[in-house]
Amino acid sequence: MPFDFFKLEIPDVLLIKPKVFEDERGFFLEIYKASEFAKAGIDLPFYQVNHSKSKKGVLRGLHFQLEPKAQGKLVWCIKGKIWDVAVDLRKGSPWFSKWVAVELSEKNKHLLWIPPGFAHGFVALEDCEIIYLTTNEYAPELDRGIIWNDPTLNISWPVREPLLSHKDSTLPRLEDAEMNFYYRSGK
């Protein structure tokens, strides 16, 4: 199997470790294989691929899209290093408002699966580039977010004063955010 899938503290979020084939020429790895991902419970199609570049200290997020265009995201850091965060926003979930975070880097080559119904954000620990596949296309009218330092979420970001866009610095708190996700047991 070219992948190992690991459940995190929120078991619907998966850390994915691809098998890396390295030799004196370089390396090869698969970042996605539909049949293997389906076996791990990730059986949604991907409709958009994004590439993001950030300077060290930039924090992006916490972003999500409302239904019917909620996005699952498969995140991969291809250059540098990020601290990647997923927050459960599914009403009725035993993990509602809880978060998990992992370090993704060009060195470890790990991927993170964040299902629909989660907010996503990351901070660049080094100058970085990430690629992420989404299960729905971007729909600006359904684009929403939560402020990165929301006291209810109490995320332990590894930076105190991140570089933020105007949009990200003015996002609402969790209690004021519009959300329409519902937890479905076994999904």
**Catalytic residue from among 32, 47, 51, 63:** 63
Task: Give the bridge partners for 114, in sequence order.
Answer: 73
**Active-site pick, 132, 138, 182, 183:** 132
Instruction: Say whether 47 is catalytic.
Output: no
CB 45 within 8 A of CB 152: no
Cβ contacts of residue 154 below 8 Å, gap of 6+?
A: none
Residues 73 and 20: their CA atoms lie apart, in Å, by: 21
182 counts as catalytic:
no
Q: What angle do CA 118, 120, 122 make, to 5 degrees?
A: 155
Full DSSP string of 129-151: EEEEEESS---GGGEEE--TT-T
Catalytic positions: 63, 132
